[in-house]
Amino acid sequence: MKRAALYMRVSTVDQHPETQLYDLQQMASQRGYEIVEQYTDRISGAKARRPGLDGLLRDARRGRFDVVLVWASDRIARSTKHFLEVLDELNRLNVEFVSFREQIDTGGPLGRAIVVIIGAIAELERSLIVERVRAGMRQAKLEGRHIGRKPLDLDHAAICGDRCCGQSLRQISRCYRIPTATVQRVLHEHAPTLEMSA
């Protein structure tokens, strides 16, 4: 018997999730699922943080259930992009997704095909984002703008002087508030000079 989690969402406090709950309980009963958990959000679908959905995904990662039942796809996600992300994560966790209204069932052959298509769309979206970032970095380089963190403005002569006076790497590191590896790099760069002055 598959363990099922039910997810309901209503947009306002005045609305009641009981209608969704009744339909999902009926569907679970017809399919022979054991309902192990119920999650409810009384919040707009546009909100990024939703305690019920966050709890559902957290428990899915812990393997608490095998299938998620929702009344409609728009109950679980605030946008198509978010819906694809949720579905993609459930698929990676081997948790089936069943929608009452759209009759989407990722446990069957058609549902698995939908997951493959969704996965391909999500991968395409990630590739496009990466390409846009790379294009932006190329443009910035062409315009002579610096990319990444600004280089540290270090007083190399003072660091080398402190080392010649017998200070340890850790003491210099604390004094200039830089990692000991950075101190070592500066000293290594100036090694020939230090040897000549010794």
CA–CA gap between residue 177 and residue 154 (Å, rounded)? 10
Catalytic residue flag (residue 168): no
Q: List, in order, residues 6 or more apart from 171 with CB less than 8 Å away.
A: 162
Catalytic residue among 11, 73, 79, 127: 11
Tokens encoding 160: 């080398």
Q: Which among 125, 66, 75 has a CA at the least distance from the CA of 93?
A: 66
Angle at CA of residue 3, ends 29 and 28, nearest 5°: 20
Closest CA to 28 of 52, 59, 5, 60: 5
Q: Counting Cβ atoms within 10 Å, is residue 154 exposed (0-12), middle (13-18) or buried (19+)? A: middle
Phi-psi region of 114 (alpha: psi -120 to 50; beta: other; left: phi over 0): alpha
For residue 151, count CB atoms less than 10 angstroms from its CB and return exposed for 0-12, middle for 13-18, buried for 19 or more: exposed
Give catalytic residue positions: 11
